Structure 1
Amino acid sequence: MTATLDTATSATSAQQSQRPSLNELRERFRPVFDAIAHGALERELNRELPYEQVQLLVDSGFTALQAPVAYGGADIAVADLYELLIELAVADSNLPQILHAHFAFTEIHRFSPQPISDWWLRQVGAGKVISNGMVALGGPGEVEQTEDGEVYSGTKTYSTGALFADEIFIVVGTKESGMPLMYVVPAEGAGVNRVDDWDGIGQRLTASGTTVYERVALDPEKVLDIESPAGLLVAPAVLFIHAAAQAGIAEAAVRDAAWFVRQRKRTYGHAAAEYPKDDPQVQEVVGRAASHAYAAKQLVRQGAADLQGYLARAGRLSDTTSPEYQQLFTEAVTDVNSAAAAVSEHALAATNLLFEVGGASVLQRERGFDRHWRNARVLASHNPAHYKLRVVGEYLINGTTPSPDSFVRPVKPEETK
């Protein structure tokens, strides 16, 4: 494994000049997103995991976009990635969540080179999908020393995307610093058993289930370190991928609301018009939902631009204990938490309003309209806003700066219940 990123980073300005524009990216990937949208409702109703759709994203080069041009990627801007993730979520919100660890941790390696970064970016550029196994179930597991090296045994839950991945990074313990000790292992390697037992009310096709590791070999060259300045921003990066998914969900809900009203013939005797499409009350409901969807998208756009700036600033720093870094981290957490919490509120509002545009027929299971609210609800609950807003409020009131390790510490087993 190469220990530096000289090849990938020496021509940064040249790579940026080769970056495709956002319009070019949209033109390239909208046919892909359209193909993914086709059959999304049927997959939801039949609970068919989107293996083909993930592969379509790989084959089209979508999963490689963050990698340097020299490694097969496009080195696209952070803000452009989030624009595309919103559009992907409109097509199928399961896909951004399936790939959230892939995109978030790749972002970290772009801005914070470490020994494994060169390997990671080459894998991403070659079309490999990388997932996570971070949350312990029933205990953190154990590392055992054998004649051939260390092996890990343990069980992880909420292993989102693991069934679709080529590589998985797993937490195998805690370092002396209190930060998680992580290794990257092959998803189809000996001893890795991925189980599709996710039974949440929404985001049902993300395969966010259990992964069991039985004496899985740990490669000492594939230790994943997130104690770098940019690495500690992985939590905001992950959080905002979920926000992008919620913004896409809100837009999809508005699309379905407008379609439903446009073709609906039945209404009520006390309605304001003969057809729902001409009823000012119904029009106002759809308009209000659109307002929430618009606000969610704009918040994600601004937040992504902010995150890009924070990552770039962090990449120029070396000391995570310096006042400069603490201020940067505080600004990043405050801005991203505030935006993400607001996105959740707007997405839930937009998806709930969908049920106000019709009577019982809007509730029919075959329409699948409920999936929008369920999916938005799961993403909102996955990152409870009140915890994040408390951090913001405590800082604004008392000047208490957030601690980076509190956002990336290993999750305790009892927290998975």
Structure 2
Amino acid sequence: MSTGYAAPAGIATSELIEHFRPIFERIAAGAPERDLTRRLPHEEIAWLKEARFGAVRLSRDEGGFDATLEQEHVLLLELGAADSNFPQIWRNHFAFVEDVLFDDEAGRNERWRAKIAEGALFGGAWSETGGDSFFDMRTVLVEQDGRFLLNGEKFYSTGSLFADWIHVLAKGPDAADVSLVLIEADADGVTLIDDWSGVGQRLTGSGTTVLENVELPAGSWYPFAARSRYQEAVYQLNHLATLAGISRAAQRDLVNAVRTRPRAYPQGLGSVPREDAQIQEVVGRVSALASAAEASVRWAARGLDDIVSLLAPDPGSDDPIVVEALHTATIAVYEAQLTVTDAALTASTLLFDALSSSALGEQKALDRHWRNARTVASHNPRVYKARIVGDWHLNGTDPNAAFLGPLATRAADAAKV
């Protein structure tokens, strides 16, 4: 197998931040208003696309920035501090980028990298309501009279309302297959509905996608099992960058509120809140939580960068050293999920201990930090990751088995038929 990927030649993190921070600041300025009015950020997403945000992981030769995964997640963390909806909007996109960094023998991935370099945004439509499990799907890709047609309905279609392309998880085209199918977001038969009703992350475009006889040319899909071997960890790390960004936003808004608040409680220990030792203690705790969350994200991302380098010569390598490194890096992400989730939920709650009831005013929108943290943390509950981490440490169980096992069982059952 040929590979189109080489380890990044290196770009300074400060250079990346300098390029994107002005856009992040513009996004942050409108975050409370967007949350209050539920205005979808189409204009703001266009700013990021124009700046080639989605191409940060591509090589400079292909129109990217040569960024590492750690650097990408530093950007996502800062973007999350500006508005936590945005990293989640890009979540499916950046996971897909990792799928196509390596060339396959058919040259499929070069085509997709070119579209990413041009600014295309890739959304996702994987999950369905009902069913017994994640892989119990009713969405199918079938061949009829020489035409390939995609039919089904998806929920949690994160980012798709803003996307140029959507990757859809489907059964088919053969009975044993589970495929990722690439469709244009405005193709005939595609309907995108903004019906996400969660308490938080209201602007992520995580609603319903309806697929009715969407016709596809051959080669518009690839096996789910052929996605990048560390993709599941990348998906989780995006959520952690979002949560760490929320922690930092809570700390930022808390500091600004205390600095400008002139009125002290009668029981307070200072003439103004910023001189009150008890208030200072709360600010210190929230600041420490935010810093710990950021450090955990960067630590876990470095492990994934090591995996990318190991896989570059041979993405399909089954060398025991590579396999063990992949497991270790995945576990690092799952361990970080436990600490970062705790940090975000605690920071976004504690900030109210240092403020008065006036902080509950709807226009201040401070409640969005907890609502958004609770929502992101609920998408992949930490209780399952804690068990996986413990099982790996005690028994060496493959932390990716939950996703790979059902596919192997499905293929075996189809072969028997």
TM-score w.r.t. the length of structure 2 is 0.90
Q: State which of 14, 18, 29 in structure 1 corresponds to 2:20.
A: 29
- Determine whether 1:215 maps to 2:213: yes
Which residue does 2:194 correspond to in 1? 196
Which whole-Å CA distance do the structure 1 matches of 2:71 and 2:270 have between them?
Answer: 43
Which residue does 1:153 correspond to in 2? 151
- Determine whether 1:53 maps to 2:44: yes
Report if the CA contact (8 A) 1:232-1:408 is conserved: no
Moved more, 150-159 or 70-79: 70-79
Per the alignment, do residues 316 and 88 of structure 1 end up closer, same or farther by CA in structure 2, a change over 3 Å counting?
A: same
Report if the CA contact (8 A) 1:71-1:126 is conserved: no
Partner-residue secondary structure (3-state), 1:257: helix
- Determine whether 1:390 maps to 2:382: no
Which residue does 1:304 correspond to in 2? 301
Which residue does 1:131 correspond to in 2? 123
| 1:103-182 equivalence runs, <5 A | 103-111=94-102, 113=104, 115=106, 116-137=108-129, 139-173=137-171, 180-182=178-180
Report if the CA contact (8 A) 2:139-2:169 is conserved: no
Which whole-Å CA distance do the structure 2 matches of 1:165 and 1:50 have between them?
Answer: 12
Partner-residue secondary structure (3-state), 1:136: coil
Q: Size of the alignment, in residue pairs?
A: 400
Per the alignment, do residues 335 and 179 of structure 1 end up closer, same or farther by CA in structure 2, a change over 3 Å counting?
A: farther
Which whole-Å CA distance do the structure 2 matches of 1:76 and 1:304 have between them?
Answer: 12
Unpaired segments of 5 or more residues in structure 1? 411-417
Per the alignment, do residues 375 and 112 of structure 1 end up closer, same or farther by CA in structure 2, a change over 3 Å counting?
A: farther
| 1:176-325 equivalence runs, <5 A | 180-228=178-226, 231-317=228-314, 319=316, 323-325=320-322
Per the alignment, do residues 141 and 401 of structure 1 end up closer, same or farther by CA in structure 2, a change over 3 Å counting?
A: closer
Shift in Å, 1:174: 5.8
Report if the CA contact (8 A) 1:112-1:231 is conserved: no
Per the alignment, do residues 107 and 142 of structure 1 end up closer, same or farther by CA in structure 2, a change over 3 Å counting?
A: closer
Per the alignment, do residues 404 and 397 of structure 1 end up closer, same or farther by CA in structure 2, a change over 3 Å counting?
A: closer
Which whole-Å CA distance do the structure 2 matches of 1:408 and 1:240 have between them?
Answer: 22
Which residue does 2:76 correspond to in 1? 85
Which whole-Å CA distance do the structure 2 matches of 1:357 and 1:181 have between them?
Answer: 50
Per the alignment, do residues 121 and 362 of structure 1 end up closer, same or farther by CA in structure 2, a change over 3 Å counting?
A: same
Report if the CA contact (8 A) 2:140-2:172 is conserved: no
Per the alignment, do residues 286 and 128 of structure 1 end up closer, same or farther by CA in structure 2, a change over 3 Å counting?
A: same
Report if the CA contact (8 A) 2:274-2:280 is conserved: yes
What letter corresponds to residue 22 of structure 1 in structure 2?
T
Shift in Å, 1:105: 1.7
Which residue does 2:361 correspond to in 1? 364
Report if the CA contact (8 A) 1:261-1:277 is conserved: yes
Report if the CA contact (8 A) 2:247-2:289 is conserved: yes
Shift in Å, 1:113: 4.2
Shift in Å, 1:39: 1.1
Which whole-Å CA distance do the structure 2 matches of 1:256 and 1:177 have between them?
Answer: 53
Report if the CA contact (8 A) 1:112-1:315 is conserved: no
Per the alignment, do residues 400 and 72 of structure 1 end up closer, same or farther by CA in structure 2, a change over 3 Å counting?
A: closer
Which residue does 1:342 correspond to in 2? 339
Moved more, 126-135 or 59-68: 59-68
- Note the alpha carbon deviations across 1:233-280, whole angstroms, 9 max, x for none: 111001001101111110010010011111112222111112111100
What letter corresponds to residue 39 of structure 1 in structure 2?
G
Report if the CA contact (8 A) 1:289-1:353 is conserved: yes
Moved more, 387-396 or 174-183: 174-183
- Note the alpha carbon deviations across 1:285-341, whole angstroms, 9 max, x for none: 011000000000001111111111122223444556664454233212211100122
Which residue does 1:413 correspond to in 2? none
Per the alignment, do residues 89 and 178 of structure 1 end up closer, same or farther by CA in structure 2, a change over 3 Å counting?
A: farther
Which whole-Å CA distance do the structure 2 matches of 1:400 and 1:208 have between them?
Answer: 32
Which whole-Å CA distance do the structure 1 matches of 2:400 and 2:391 have between them?
Answer: 12
Which residue does 2:374 correspond to in 1? 377
Which whole-Å CA distance do the structure 2 matches of 1:385 and 1:313 have between them?
Answer: 28
Report if the CA contact (8 A) 2:141-2:172 is conserved: no
Unpaired segments of 5 or more residues in structure 2? 131-136, 408-417
Which whole-Å CA distance do the structure 2 matches of 1:407 and 1:72 have between them?
Answer: 33
Partner-residue secondary structure (3-state), 1:124: helix
Per the alignment, do residues 175 and 342 of structure 1 end up closer, same or farther by CA in structure 2, a change over 3 Å counting?
A: farther
Per the alignment, do residues 179 and 314 of structure 1 end up closer, same or farther by CA in structure 2, a change over 3 Å counting?
A: farther
TM-score w.r.t. the length of structure 1 is 0.90
Shift in Å, 1:224: 2.8
Partner-residue secondary structure (3-state), 2:230: helix
Report if the CA contact (8 A) 1:133-1:157 is conserved: yes
- Note the alpha carbon deviations across 1:92-118, whole angstroms, 9 max, x for none: 111110000101220232146464311
- Determine whether 1:62 maps to 2:53: yes
Shift in Å, 1:351: 0.9
